[in-house]
């Protein structure tokens, strides 16, 4: 069955957006698409169908354009009959329109079996026959980056995408809580995102410690926030030990819900971190962000993430992430012209 993250009654005749990629980053890459579709909805809202692990319910709670987040059933909506089961479950919500921002047949089958009258999507190959439009993408467009895909689809439909829509607003109550909790810490606030989903994306913790130490020296004062997920606690503690060895204090955060971390990041003057979900969160909050990317074993950076402003930049080595030096990172931050 489908689970409503916000426990809301469905908007009958509403717009459903299906974007089931599992990562935090992928969800944020699609912000412009979500907001564009909400503007063309009668109630100015959309309902998002995604996977719980993407944590859209944490990041996007309270957004004016979002009615609800529905979670796919990881047991029943996948496999040979997943599309049919999904269609049965979707039928009860009474959607009139579905935008399918994915290539899998299960979502086209699901939207069709649910009786959703207007169905738009990538429609690669035979899937275009399950759409109610002739504006499907070409088969070779399946190789495009996720962002390039929806941009191509929206261009075919004449739907404008606004660059400002790539940004999100944090929960103001959580922002106020973070301001109060850390009111005694000197500015600038610098967040270090030390984790990542793949080992090849993780810069050594001792180098993050060196960067933090040197940046505080550069600004003359400031506070460090070490941000990660609960399962990254061990590597975060190693980073904290390296900082303490240099006589530096830091606030260690691995137990915050993602929405609260977003609120904290929105108050920071700078984010430095690995290619990760938190890097995408910081940049989507329009926080000056420096991302570290390896040339092997990880995805290329999102083009939309770093075209939203000159302050969002990245360092990419053609080899391993360990080849990025502390001097390179510090020099790149200094070149941004931030002041305390």
pLDDT digits (tens, 9 = 90+) for 149-174: 999 999 999 999 998 898 999 999 99
Place of tokens 């997920």: 229
Q: Same domain, yes or no, for 107 and 227?
A: no
CA 52 from chain center: how many Å? 13
- Residue pLDDT, tens place only, 315-337: 666 678 888 899 999 998 888 87
> In terms of Cα–Cα distance, which of 173, 181, 213, 201 is closest to 278?
201
Residue 238 lies in a domain: yes
The pLDDT assigned to 307 comes to 44
Q: Is 49 helix (H, G, I), strand (E, B) or coil?
A: strand
Question: Is the distance from CB of 102 to CB of 82 less than 8 angstroms?
Answer: no
Residue 252 lies in a domain: yes
Phi and psi at 164, nearest 5°, equal: -65, -20
Q: Same domain, yes or no, for 134 and 281?
A: no
Q: What is the mean pLDDT of residues 274-303?
A: 75
The pLDDT assigned to 315 comes to 66
- Say how far apart CA 79 and CA 76 lie, in whole Å: 8
CATH assignment at residue 289: 3.40.50.2000
The pLDDT assigned to 340 comes to 60
- DSSP percent split of the chain into helix, strand, coil, nearest 5: 40, 15, 45
Task: Report the mean per-residue pLDDT for the chain.
Answer: 91
Question: Is the distance from CB of 23 to CB of 277 less than 8 angstroms?
Answer: yes
The pLDDT assigned to 334 comes to 87
- As for how many domains the chain has, the answer is 2
Residue 135 lies in a domain: yes
Phi and psi at 67, nearest 5°, equal: -85, -50
Q: Same domain, yes or no, for 225 and 154?
A: no
| pLDDT surpasses 60 at 310 | no
Q: Same domain, yes or no, for 14 and 162?
A: yes
Q: Same domain, yes or no, for 185 and 295?
A: yes
For 10, half-sphere exposure in the C-beta direction (CA atoms, 13 angstrom radius) is 19
Question: Is the distance from CB of 289 to CB of 311 less than 8 angstroms?
Answer: yes
- Residue pLDDT, tens place only, 105-118: 999 999 999 999 99
Q: What is the DSSP letter of 186?
A: P
- What is the per-residue DSSP string for 118-168? EEEE--TGGGGGGSSSS-PPPGGGGGS-HHHHHHHHHHHHT----GGGG--
Q: Same domain, yes or no, for 9 and 117?
A: yes
Residue 150 lies in a domain: yes
Q: Which helix (H) or strand (E) holds 258?
A: helix 258-266
Q: Same domain, yes or no, for 137 and 284?
A: no
Of the residues 106, 134, 166, the one at which a domain ends: 166
| pLDDT surpasses 80 at 305 | no
| pLDDT surpasses 90 at 294 | no
- Residue pLDDT, tens place only, 5-64: 999 999 999 999 999 999 999 999 999 999 999 999 999 999 999 999 999 999 999 999
Of the residues 104, 131, 166, the one at which a domain ends: 166
Q: Same domain, yes or no, for 117 and 192?
A: no
| pLDDT surpasses 60 at 198 | yes
Residue 62 lies in a domain: yes
Residue 323 lies in a domain: yes
Q: Same domain, yes or no, for 23 and 153?
A: yes
Residue 340 lies in a domain: no
Q: Same domain, yes or no, for 144 and 213?
A: no
pLDDT bin (cut points 50, 70, 90) of residue 313 is low
| pLDDT surpasses 70 at 338 | yes
pTM: 0.91
Segments of 5-60 assigned E as strands = 15-18, 46-50
Q: Same domain, yes or no, for 186 and 88?
A: no
The pLDDT assigned to 306 comes to 46
Which structural domain, as residue segments, surrounds residue 119? 3-166
The pLDDT assigned to 301 comes to 41
Q: Percent of the chain at pLDDT above 90?
A: 79
The pLDDT assigned to 337 comes to 77
Question: Is the distance from CB of 319 to CB of 161 less than 8 angstroms?
Answer: no
Q: Same domain, yes or no, for 269 and 191?
A: yes
Phi and psi at 228, nearest 5°, equal: -165, 180
């Amino acid at each position: 069955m489908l689970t409503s993250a916000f426990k809301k009654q469905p908007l009958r005749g509403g717009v459903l957006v299906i974007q089931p990629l599992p990562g935090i980053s992928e969800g944020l890459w699609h912000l412009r698409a979500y907001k564009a579709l909400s503007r063309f909805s009668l109630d100015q809202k959309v309902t998002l169908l995604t996977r719980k692990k993407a944590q859209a319910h944490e990041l996007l709670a309270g957004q004016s354009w979002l009615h609800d987040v529905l979670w796919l059933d990881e047991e029943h909506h996948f496999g040979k009959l997943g599309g049919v089961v999904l269609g049965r479950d979707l039928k009860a919500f009474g959607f009139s329109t579905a935008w399918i921002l994915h290539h899998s047949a299960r979502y086209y089958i699901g939207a069709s079996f649910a009786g959703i009258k207007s169905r738009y999507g990538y429609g690669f190959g035979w899937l275009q026959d399950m759409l109610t439009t002739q504006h499907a993408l070409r088969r070779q467009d399946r190789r495009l980056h996720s962002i390039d895909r929806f941009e191509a689809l929206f261009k075919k439909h004449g739907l404008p995408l606004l660059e400002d829509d790539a940004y999100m607003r944090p929960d103001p109550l959580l922002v106020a809580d973070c301001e109060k909790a850390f009111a005694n810490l000197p500015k600038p606030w610098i967040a270090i995102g030390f984790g990542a989903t793949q080992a090849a994306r993780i810069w050594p913790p001792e180098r993050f410690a060196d960067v933090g130490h040197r940046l505080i020296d550069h600004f003359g004062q400031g506070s460090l926030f070490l941000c990660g997920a609960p399962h990254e606690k061990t590597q975060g503690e190693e980073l904290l030990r390296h900082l303490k060895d240099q006589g530096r204090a830091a606030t260690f955060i691995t137990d915050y819900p993602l929405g609260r971390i977003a609120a904290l990041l929105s108050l920071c003057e700078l984010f430095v971190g690995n290619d990760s979900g938190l890097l995408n969160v910081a940049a989507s909050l329009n926080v000056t962000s420096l991302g570290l990317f390896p040339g092997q074993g990880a995805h290329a950076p999102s083009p939309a993430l770093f075209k939203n402003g000159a302050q969002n930049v990245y360092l990419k080595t053609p080899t391993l992430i360990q080849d990025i030096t502390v001097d390179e990172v510090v020099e790149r931050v200094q070149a941004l012209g931030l002041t305390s």
